[in-house]
Every structure is written in C-alpha cells, then in structure tokens.
Amino acid sequence: MALEPGSSVKPGGKASPLANQRSANSVDGHVGARVRIRRLELGLSQEKLAEQLGITFQQVQKYERGTNRIGASRLHQISLVLDVPITYFFDGATDESVDTNRTASSLSSALTDPVTMRLLRAFSTINDPQMRMRAVGIIEAISETSGPAVPEAD
C-alpha cells in the first residue's frame, strides 16, 4: 500500500491524514493579532516593519492574519523591532484561543481604521480618571444607538 505524503497507517491498516504540524492554528492567529496591534501602536506600516525584518510586507500580512506561523527566531526579531518582550504576543491567549482570536481579530480590524487610531491617541492624553470614564461612557452610549461598525479586514 502506497502512502500519500502526510499520511500514516492506523492500527486497522487504513491510511489517515496527519495533522500538519507546520500549519497555522488559533494561537498563531492570536500572536499575529498582537503583532498587528503593537505595530499600529507604534505607528509602523506593514512595509516599514517588513523592511526592518528583511521580509516582504505580504509576509507581515500573513503573520498578522495568522495564515503563516511565526518561527521562534522571527518572533524574537519582531519583539526586538516592536520593543516588547516575547511574552507580549501570548498575553491573553487561553485554551479557548479560537474565541480569543476572534476578539483579537475584531480589535485588530478596528485598529486599521485611522479614525479609531485618532480616538485612541486622543484618549491616551486624558490624565484625569473621571474624565476618562466619562469619555468611555459617551462612546459606549453612542455605540449602543448606532450599532456595531467594525471595518472589514483588508
């Protein structure tokens, strides 16, 4: 019996596909979303990050979407460029990473909107905790009346 690449023989003699150990999974999506969030916090474009890493911006896109896995040495390089510890990329990851990844994806999609970034920059300059809470209350009240509007991922 000839086996296809990536197959194995189970105890009954039947071939079954193996899980591809190298394919991306939900944790990769979470890590990619965290790369995107940090890149946007720093005001870096995908092109600038790619240039600093010596890769194409398309590769950065694949990392951020969780389509491609980020190897250990590349993640170390990214952490140096983005000035965060490697653990930053795993913050918030849980055993239920699929749900975490969906939340991170929505957040990372929202962070691609220039208006969202303006709002975050302005909000971060408010030092008074009561004023910050008022601003959050206003935004939440507006969002309840207008409904969710998260920009589509590119």
- Summarised one tens digit per residue, pLDDT across range 127-137 is 999 999 999 99
Q: Which two tokens stand for residue 21?
A: 């150990």
> What pLDDT does residue 18 have?
42
Q: Which of 2, 66, 6 shows the shortest CA–CA distance to 36?
A: 66
How far is Cα 136 from Cα 115, in angstroms, rounded to an integer? 16
How many independent structural domains does the chain possess? 2
Residue-number span of the structural domain to which 127 is assigned: 113-147
How far is Cα 135 from Cα 139, in angstroms, rounded to an integer? 6
Whether this prediction's pTM lies above 0.75 is answered by no
How far is Cα 107 from Cα 124, in angstroms, rounded to an integer? 17
Helices (H), 4-90: 26-41, 46-53, 57-65, 72-81
Q: What is the pLDDT of residues 8-26, one digit of tens each?
A: 444 455 444 444 455 557 7
Lowest mean pLDDT among 5-14, 37-46, 56-65: 5-14
> What pLDDT does residue 104 have?
53
Q: What is the pLDDT of residues 63-120, one digit of tens each?
A: 998 889 999 999 999 999 999 999 999 888 775 544 444 555 566 667 667 788 788 8
Same domain, 140 and 95: no
Same domain, 89 and 130: no
How far is Cα 135 from Cα 133, in angstroms, rounded to an integer? 5
Same domain, 71 and 136: no
Same domain, 107 and 117: no
**Are 79 and 86 a contacting pair, CB within 8 Å?**
yes
pLDDT band at 41 (very low <50, low <70, confident <90, very high): confident
Q: Which of 24, 21, 107, 105 shows the shortest CA–CA distance to 62?
A: 24
How far is Cα 60 from Cα 32, in angstroms, rounded to an integer? 9
Instruction: With respect to residue 76, please indicate whether it lies within any of the assigned structural domains.
Output: yes
